[in-house]
A = this chain, B = another copy of it.
């Protein structure tokens, strides 16, 4: 359906016809912007949000350190983007589906994924829901409605459209929120997902974390446009740009987006402007592609500190509480890490299960051959031997005893 106005001069538009403002409520000093109104958020929920943000920060710091010590092969931090991820999650219904990219562990923490659950995945042990098959940080939880992370970028975006279409047909009033980076938004799957969602009127929230970088690539080399937000116009979709370090604005925007999605079966695009304060991953060193000064400028905008000040002003949170929380979180992270490290690997059969609903004859043959081989060379495959035969190593048995 196209507009009918006519012109008789060849006038080209270039997007200067509109501009996309940024929605902000909270200033860095913890006070509201002039004219801003905080969303309804009672003390309990505000503190739940805040605790999840701090827990995410602490988990990230400790696990990066563990990676540096060689205890963990790989890690990715959410640092700097906690408000975006957790603010959005808090605005959803807990039974709404979340399909994340990989930097959204805060969403899981907010929904109650335990440190034990995190650690089991990070160490790929026998209790990992993913059975030690994926790299660290590829969490998933069925009971928390959090789709298992997949490394290929943007594939989850059209999947979210499909998932939400299923929710619409089911009529249970749920929607799906899909997180992705401004880099991933360059993939063809992004275009497919947004267009299909608009055409089929799907209750899905496309939440873009625009954190300025895709590994080393600055967003200016990712797109020439004013961010990701104006793409919504190409699909006829509601869109808002929000200060991603402003917990109140993210919460309010997402709550309203969810209303549009669920009440009107309309997709919504949210672009949260933030910054990846840490390296891309534990394999990356950003000093090769950006300045300390730039990082410092963003460190001043720390979303956690901002919320802490707001809570403090309300009298909902004190320095003592802060100290106690930090300490208990650190202790808990270390304890759960130690437990998870010691747990045995997943059983050898887990190599061939879940490829199909049932193990095929060929896979059974391959597993049987592998077992014979490992029995021949047990010392060459310590994990396999241990997983094959729980008696092989005493500490394996010990670890199992803890269950």
Which positions in A face B, CB cutoff 8 Å? 1-15, 17-25, 33-37, 186-192, 195, 198-199, 210, 220-242, 249, 252-253, 256-257, 260, 268, 273
B188/A10 in contact, CB under 8 A: no
Interface contact A13-B256, CB-CB below 8 Å: no
B19 close to A5 (CB less than 8 A): yes
A21's contact among B6, B35, B198, B252, by CB below 8 Å, is which?
A: B6
Query: For residue A252, which residue of chain B has the nearest CB?
Result: B10
Nearest residue in B to A15 (C-beta to C-beta)? B233
Interface centre among A13, A33, A226 (most CB of B within 10 A): A13
Nearest chain-B residue to A191 (Cβ)? B191
Contact call A224/B235, Cβ cutoff below 8 A = yes
Q: How far is the CA of A306 from the CA of B319 in the complex (A)?
A: 79
Residues in B neighbouring A241, C-beta threshold 8 A: 2
State the CA gap A7–B240 with chains docked (Å).
Answer: 10
Contact (Cβ within 8 A) B13 A33 = no
Pick the contact of A224 from B4, B187, B199 — CB < 8 Å?
Answer: B199
Partner of A8, one of B24, B232, B273: B24
Contact B199 A223 (CB under 8 A): yes
A24 closest partner in B (C-beta): B6
Given contacts A2-B226, A18-B233, 19 further A-B contacts (CB under 8 A): A1-B220, A2-B210, A5-B21, A7-B21, A8-B24, A8-B25, A8-B36, A10-B240, A10-B242, A10-B256, A12-B256, A13-B20, A13-B233, A17-B18, A195-B224, A199-B222, A223-B236, A231-B233, A233-B233
Closest B residue by C-beta to A3: B19
Which B residues lie within 8 Å of A221 (CB)?
Answer: 199
Q: A189-B188, A222-B199, A237-B14 are in contact. Are A231 and B232 (CB under 8 A)?
A: no
